[in-house]
Structure 1
């Protein structure tokens, strides 16, 4: 009885010290930029400093595992991407943990819907023209990605399957080398978030043909969705979400989710997200957990169809 009362009081007092957010990628990754933009407002709402730490390596597995092993007290959190929640467990044969079982979902933070960028030398001005050209020229087109098994790799594979085209995957060591390859014509296609390559559109060296989401992007409203372009089942996004170690008190999870959503609704944050091609999310920890199960099933299917593996 006394122990239960003490536990309730401890949770009610949370947070009493700085909160650490582990980003399992290098500084400058999309999610890293988003959480650092949110950092001041989150600190104000939570009443404690928010310390963002980049723990990169092994496709995000090193930082993710650090959070999995942390004490479930609400002071160590993960800001992970699609791979860390619903892809890597199917890519890595010896991962050693299942993110869906080892983590307590807090909230999806943002979506970064995938945009179909092509090199301007490809004779296509619309998505349909591109699909027809790709099907008529099997093996002629290459698609780039930041690496084997990354969301852009698997997304481009899923797109090629959906349109019935045979294209070759060219993995790079990171997104920016891949975009350089797209600009130079080493690859003809790169499927990634608008913020990764959108700034290159005015150069005329690349074109954007469609966005793989259910709604158009505010920053490029003229871009049709994949559904409008004829492939309604291709909804692909490299999203970012927050989680805690399994066993964290649900009241803490809810307070974190409420703070995240409140910050995402602030005018300055909305403007920043729109300019970068992000879409703010708004779901409860339970809703996020349910959604993750469906996402995992989709990406498991794509990983298995692609034959991608890392170890």
Structure 2
């Protein structure tokens, strides 16, 4: 069975299993639910979370209330869910940065991302795009590598902050190139983007959605998508695999998690509602506009394995580069 065909069958199968899991008389959910998003309202995490909450709420027959709990690189909101009742009524919109990377670089994390959470399901990933200010005399990853190797002083890359996905991707690029590069952290994507557009910093990596208008206008030059294949919304930009740098893979991914100990039947019901939502063409269109490539997980355990594999990969980068948030 081809992968695309398999993915189209997953939502239907999950929905069937979810109904079976609750067929023994359990009324769940029978009251409003809560999705915690560990960021302030308005960003890409908030947009993705609200789209998913609306769709899941319609399928579960209950309102899903959004609670934005930003701060400490995602730790504050994530801790809320780790300490919540284990009843399936509170769950987290987890991400590669706020959930996984923050657990690797923050000096004090009051939970264990494996032990204290029950994966519900994967939503998808927004591959990161590697861009430069057009004044930088490079048009490919190979040319960027050659420039980085001979630059004195080192070329610089901007990120939304220490320990973010953008920070670690820049560090991974530096390691892969075997060249020193200066990290310039900012308080968010907005100010980082402003300085790269102005030419004060040379490189910026981020999800495609906030960068696409500037790529289209010529304010940024896209060198590659840090993914195995090209993005549908940037069809002319090669992947890093095409460019000869298969080690450079990075995306901002999203998924749902409940507190560890949540009853399996309730996790299964949430997983089924999530996958049914992801099969909705309207939801697919809205997430595609955010640069998210939808990839539902066949079972909650599959999402759990993805988390463990991604943690091991980024742990190597953190260890080799001694990245630590202060």
Relative to the length of structure 1, the TM-score reads 0.93
Out of 292, 301, 309, which is 2:316 matched to? 301
Picking from 212, 219, 222, the partner of 1:208 is 222
Alignment of 1:1-311 (within 5 A): 12-283=26-297, 284-311=299-326
Contact 1:115 1:208 in 2 (8 A): yes
8 Å Cα contact 1:154/1:306 also seen in 2: no
Structure 1 gaps of 5+ residues are: 1-7
How many equivalent residue pairs? 304
**1:171-194 CA distances to partner (integer Å, 9 max, x unpaired)?**
000011111111011111111100
TM-fit CA distance, 1:127: 2.1
Q: Shift in Å at residue 10 of structure 1?
A: 9.2
Name the counterpart of 2:5: none
Distance 2:133 2:249 in 1: 22
Cα offsets for 1:190-210 (capped at 9, x unmatched): 111001211112321211110
CA distance in 1, matches of 2:28, 2:320: 45
CA contact (8 A) 2:106 2:163 kept: no
Deviations 1:126-147 (A, max 9, x none): 2222222222215331100010
Q: Distance in 2 between the 1:244 and 1:36 partners?
A: 17
Residue aligned with 2:235, SS? coil
CA distance in 2, matches of 1:218, 1:138: 37
The structure-2 alpha-carbon separation of the partners of 1:261 and 1:9, relative to structure 1 and needing over 3 Å to count, comes to closer
Q: Within 2, Cα distance between the matches of 1:249 and 1:146?
A: 37
Judged with a 3 Å threshold, the aligned counterparts in structure 2 of structure 1 residues 68 and 293 are, in CA distance, closer, same or farther, namely same
Once residues 153 and 243 of structure 2 are traced to their aligned partners in structure 1, the CA distance between those partners, rounded to angstroms, is 23
Counterpart secondary structure, 2:115: helix
The equivalent residue for 1:5 is none
TM-score, with length taken from structure 2: 0.89
Q: Secondary structure at the match of 2:122?
A: strand
Q: Distance in 2 between matches of 1:49 and 1:13?
A: 15
- The RMSD of aligned alpha carbons is 1.6
Is contact 2:35-2:53 (8 Å) kept? no
Query: Which residue of 1 is the match for residue 4 of structure 2?
Result: none
* 2-structure distance, mates of 1:309, 1:10: 49
